[in-house]
Amino acid sequence: LKPVHRRVLYAMLDSGFRPDRSHAKSARSVAETMGNYHPHGDASIYDTLVRMAQPWSLRYPLVDGQGNFNSPG
């Protein structure tokens, strides 16, 4: 994983976003990541979240995307 992937996953773990809890908006995890670990802008964080939710992008999807995560464009 690239550093931005690790930062997003760590921020989500640190914020309590776990598989056994209800879904949260992606803006919350992006804000946590950008505020604490990755102060380089939100576009790369959103792209990382979408990529980690797509089943064809990684061998194992690391984020459970809800809504229009997998829609093109």
Residue 73 pLDDT > 60: no
Task: Report the alpha-carbon distance of residue 56 to residue 52 in Å, rounded.
Answer: 9
The pLDDT of residue 54 is 86
Q: What is the average pLDDT across 57-71?
A: 79
Residue 70 pLDDT > 70: no
Residue 62 belongs to domain spanning: 1-73
Residue 30 pLDDT > 80: yes
pTM: 0.80
Going by pLDDT thresholds of 50, 70 and 90, the confidence category of residue 39 is confident
> In the chain, how many domains are there?
1
Question: DSSP characters for 36-66?
Answer: HT--S-SHHHHHHHHHHH-TTTSSS--S---
The mean pLDDT value of the chain amounts to 86
